[in-house]
A = this chain, B = another copy of it.
Amino acid sequence: MLNFSFENPTKIHFGEQQIKEIQSEIPKNAKVLVTYGGGSIKKNGVYDQVKAALSEHTWFEFAGIEPNPSYQTCMKAVELVKEKQIDFILAVGGGSVVDGSKFIAAAAEFTGEPWDILANGAEVKSAVALGVVLTLPATGSESNTFSVVSNLETHDKLPFASEYVRPRFAVLDPAVTFSLPERQVTNGIVDAFVHTMEQYLTYDVGAKLQDRFAEGILMTLIEEGPKAFSEPENYQVRANIMWSATMALNGLIGAGVPQDWATHMIGHEMTAVYGLDHAQTLAIVLPRMMAEQKDTKRGKLLQYAERVLGLDITNEEAAIEHAIAATEAFFHSVKMPTRLSDYNLDDSVADKLVAQLERHGMTALGEREQVTLEKSRAILLASV
């Protein structure tokens, strides 16, 4: 186990009818900005629940944070935060709304050009307080310090992290996910699965409990994921998926272990250039990453094959191939395509994305920095 520091002070209210808890979680005298996306929360009852819970607060709203939240949209919200002297942001939505709201919270108190937070790693020294009502289990953003924001003009999709933007609280009501479009359910399950893999499928450092926890998340997603489609109003299925997605990226399973994230880095470029959903890119890249890195990841690939998938690992090569195929089959089981050609993309993708990776300095990715541009190219070519 590697040395680590871990903290996660986000307070979670989990379960049916928990949205009312925001009333006591947000200071009474706070001026609140409710941020959300395309308006689905007005159809599924979440907006009304939030409105009822905020009946004693002064609040404003900012709609239109898009999937892959854009810098341009976020900066409009920053203007509103400053104009109305907002001191609490309540993000109501999925990972994109939360990520966008984190950037809004940081940018509103940033001295200088906020784009520097993303492009140049400028330090965030404070942020507007943030709370979350989560409507889409996927990114784990509801209790972590990470955010990814895209620039529509430059086609950059860039991350930042700061303890200041970690949500103070997050409300997770699995029942509000019943009405999600299938595509978003698919995306969420795959996103949580790949987050876990990025922290698990590296190399052994003797962190046995972290391994067991990661395996627990993977097994739960494999078992429960498909049921979200066959039994879409099964509350327990939704609850297990939702809690798994939070635990997949709240810092816990990544504490004390090496981390990979090469699949994410390549995937981000794919979204920035071709507009694929984040999780769609992960499902394309991960199986090819597993194959390309099978020697450096051998020990963990076999452990994954045996413990998570229940495979016989006597023949190591066969077990690894089987494990990769089973991973791809799992993605298919939750209605996720796994090939570039499923989106009418061909091998020209490779040159384009390798150039993007080079431009962003992503020339040595992964837990051992062994995923060179050449390997990224091979992974992309194998993904067609």
Q: Are B1 and A209 in contact (CB under 8 A)?
A: no
A223 within 8 A of B: yes
Q: Are B15 and A4 in contact (CB under 8 A)?
A: yes
Q: A29-84: which residues lie under 8 A (CB-CB) from chain B?
A: none
Q: Are B206 and A212 in contact (CB under 8 A)?
A: no
With a cutoff of 8 Å between Cβ atoms, the chain B residues found around residue A11 in the complex are: 5-7
Among the listed B8, B243, B255, which residue makes an inter-chain contact with A8, where contact means beta carbons less than 8 Å apart?
Answer: B8
Bound together, the chains give a CA A239 to CA B256 distance in angstroms of: 10
Beyond A7-B11, A212-B215, list 17 extra A-B contacts (CB 8 Å): A1-B15, A1-B239, A2-B15, A3-B16, A4-B15, A5-B12, A6-B12, A6-B14, A14-B256, A209-B216, A209-B240, A209-B247, A210-B243, A212-B216, A216-B216, A239-B256, A243-B256
Of the listed residues A12, A208, A209, A224, the one surrounded by the most CB atoms of chain B closer than 10 A to its CB is A209
29 A-B residue contacts at CB 8 Å?
A1-B14, A1-B236, A1-B239, A1-B243, A3-B16, A3-B18, A5-B12, A6-B11, A6-B14, A8-B8, A12-B255, A14-B256, A206-B239, A207-B240, A208-B223, A209-B217, A209-B243, A209-B244, A212-B213, A212-B215, A212-B216, A212-B217, A212-B219, A213-B213, A213-B216, A215-B216, A216-B216, A243-B256, A252-B252
Bound together, the chains give a CA A330 to CA B251 distance in angstroms of: 31
- Shortest distance between the CB of A327 and any CB in chain B (Å): 18
Chain B proximity mask over A173-213: 1 for CB below 8 Å, otherwise 0: 00000000000000000000000000000000011111011
Q: Which residue of B lies closest to A248 (CB)?
A: B209
With a cutoff of 8 Å between Cβ atoms, the chain B residues found around residue A216 in the complex are: 209, 212-213, 215-216
Q: A133-175: which residues lie under 8 A (CB-CB) from chain B?
A: none
Q: Are B224 and A220 in contact (CB under 8 A)?
A: no
Chain B proximity mask over A213-243: 1 for CB below 8 Å, otherwise 0: 1011101100110000000000010011001
If A213-B216, A240-B206, A240-B207 touch, whether A5 touches B1 (CB-CB below 8 Å) is no
- Shortest distance between the CB of A284 and any CB in chain B (Å): 27
Q: Which residue of B lies closest to A171 (CB)?
A: B5
A321 within 8 A of B: no
Bound together, the chains give a CA A213 to CA B17 distance in angstroms of: 26
